[in-house]
Every structure is written in structure tokens, then in C-alpha cells.
């Protein structure tokens, strides 16, 4: 009888780890940090993302400003993006699940989403495919990504983000625009992902119920 690769590899592992001891894992590293929007902005700018800050009522205006500055002609958005955020005088195509990569390919294409979590210390926004975030394709193929970050989505450090995220969803962690350092280790922004990342940070309005 021939032994399967699975059984053979597992048997090899079992005989190899007879002498292995499992240490206790020290968890005395920081479990998190306080959210600090100024730090988030600093990190994003460091990655050469374009940052806008506005009140909730200013989101649509910030999108128009960003789109005009970047020369975006075609705007897309995932289902579930708050209609109040979408500029009324621009057409925004909502992904119905049939858009292809070819539809989204172009230097004049922008996508508007929100995110699941934004991490201040590392300047990272995380998308989980939920409402207002969409399929992964949508934030990958267009040349411009406009991401709206709400106050309650902002966390301090990486472990804070892990506590909020669901690993069963496909997650995309984004820290600035696409980049490479493959030539002489010089950082160049813009390879295959969106070459332009605009982050609209929505300020907390005192008295509103969106406080974290």
C-alpha cells in the first residue's frame, strides 16, 4: 500500500517534533493605542496620499474637489455607499456585480469607497468588502481611489485593528498608493494598484452620535 503525501508529511513532522517544546507566548507588547487623527494624516501624507479633511456635510464637495484636481471623468462606487456622500452633479456608477476589470481600466477612472478600519500609527486603511467597500476588483483596477474615513473607523495601532476585523472576509490593507522600491531601493509611487490615493477624513462633529 502506498502512503499518501499527506500522511507521510504528517508522520515526518510527528517524529521530528518529539523533542520540541512549546513555550508560553509573552503578550506584553502594546495591546493598542489611542486614536490620533493628526498622526494618521502625517502617516498618509508621508506615503504621498492626498488627504482632505471635512465635516460630514462636506464629503460630496471634497469628492468633487479631488476628482477635478485629478482629472477623473468616470466615477464608480460599491453598493451600500451612503448616497448623501455622492456628488449630485456627477454621475457615479454603482457596481452591480457585473463590472469587469476592463470596464474599470483607465487613467481617468476613480472609485469612491469607505473603509472598515483606519490605523493611525501606520497610516493604513483596511477594506473588508462590506457595504460601501465593495469587491476587491473595484479598488484595484481604477487609477484613482478616493476613500472616506469616518471618525468611528479610526483606531490607534495594529492590534486595535485586529480586534475589529473579521478574517473570514477578504481583507485589503492599504498604506498609501501602489509603490515599488525594486530599482536601487528608490521608492516610486504607482505600479499596478491605484497610483493615486485620496483619503477624505471626516471630522467628528460634537454632539453627533457618530462618536467612537
Partner 1 sequence: MSDRTNLPVYAPLGVGRLQGDRTFPAAAKIALADGQLRSNLRSATATIRAKRANVVGEVADWEELRRAGEAIKASTMASLDTLLIELERNVVANGGAVHWARDAAEANRIVTGLVQATGAKQVVKVKSMVTQEIGLNEALAAAGIEAFETDLAELIIQLGHDEPSHILVPAIHRNRAQIREIFLQEMPGVDRSISDEPAVLAGEARRYLRKKFLETKVAISGANFAVADTGTLTVVESEGNGRMCLTLPDTLITVMGIEKLVPTWTDLEVFFQLLPRSSTGERMNPYTSTWTGVTPGDGPQSFHLVLLDNGRTATLADEVGRQALHCIRCSACLNVCPVYERTGGHAYGSTYPGPIGAILSPQLTGLTGDGVNDSLPYASTLCGACFDVCPVRIDIPSILVDLRARHVEAAKAASRIPSGERLAMAGVGWAMAGEKRWQLAQRGAGVLRHSTRRTTIRRLPWPLSRWTASRDLAKPPVQTFRQWWATEHEDPS
**Please, which of residues 97-116 interact with partner 1 by CB under 8 A?**
97, 101-102, 105
Residue whose CB is less far from partner 1, 133 or 148: 133
Q: Does 28 bind partner 1 (CB under 8 A)?
A: yes
| SS3 assignment, position 19 | coil
144 neighbors 76 (Cβ within 8 angstroms): no
Please work out, in degrees rounded to the nearest 5, the angle formed at the alpha carbon of residue 185 by the alpha carbons of 176 and 111: 20
Q: Does 2 bind partner 1 (CB under 8 A)?
A: no
- Hey, which residues between 126 and 145 contact partner 1 (CB under 8 A)? 129, 135-137, 140-141
- Hey, which residues between 31 and 50 contact partner 1 (CB under 8 A)? 43, 47
Q: Does 1 bind partner 1 (CB under 8 A)?
A: no
**Could you give the CA distance from residue 70 to residue 178 in angstroms, rounded to a whole number?**
16
Residue whose CB is less far from partner 1, 84 or 101: 101
157 neighbors 121 (Cβ within 8 angstroms): yes
DSSP 29: S
Residue whose CB is less far from partner 1, 105 or 203: 105
Amino acid at each position: 500500500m502506498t502512503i499518501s503525501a499527506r500522511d507521510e508529511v504528517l508522520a515526518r513532522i510527528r517524529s521530528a517534533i518529539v523533542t520540541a517544546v512549546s513555550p508560553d507566548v509573552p503578550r506584553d507588547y502594546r495591546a493598542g493605542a489611542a486614536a490620533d487623527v493628526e498622526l494618521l494624516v502625517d502617516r498618509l501624507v508621508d506615503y504621498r496620499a492626498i488627504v482632505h479633511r471635512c465635516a460630514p456635510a462636506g464629503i460630496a464637495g471634497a469628492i468633487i474637489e479631488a476628482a477635478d484636481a485629478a482629472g477623473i471623468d468616470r466615477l464608480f462606487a460599491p453598493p451600500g455607499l451612503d448616497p448623501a456622500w455622492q456628488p449630485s452633479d456627477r454621475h457615479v456608477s454603482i457596481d452591480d456585480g457585473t463590472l469587469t476589470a476592463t470596464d474599470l481600466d483607465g487613467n481617468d477612472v476613480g472609485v469612491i469607497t469607505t473603509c472598515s478600519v483606519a490605523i493611525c500609527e501606520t497610516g493604513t486603511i483596511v477594506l473588508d468588502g462590506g457595504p460601501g467597500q465593495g469587491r476587491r476588483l473595484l479598488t484595484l483596477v481604477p487609477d484613482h481611489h478616493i476613500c472616506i474615513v469616518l471618525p468611528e473607523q479610526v483606531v490607534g495601532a495594529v492590534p486595535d485593528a485586529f480586534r475589529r476585523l473579521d478574517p473570514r472576509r477578504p481583507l485589503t490593507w492599504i498604506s498609501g498608493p501602489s509603490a515599488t522600491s525594486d530599482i536601487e531601493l528608490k521608492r516610486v509611487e504607482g505600479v499596478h494598484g491605484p497610483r493615486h490615493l485620496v483619503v477624505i477624513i471626516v471630522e467628528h462633529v460634537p454632539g453627533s452620535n457618530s462618536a467612537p
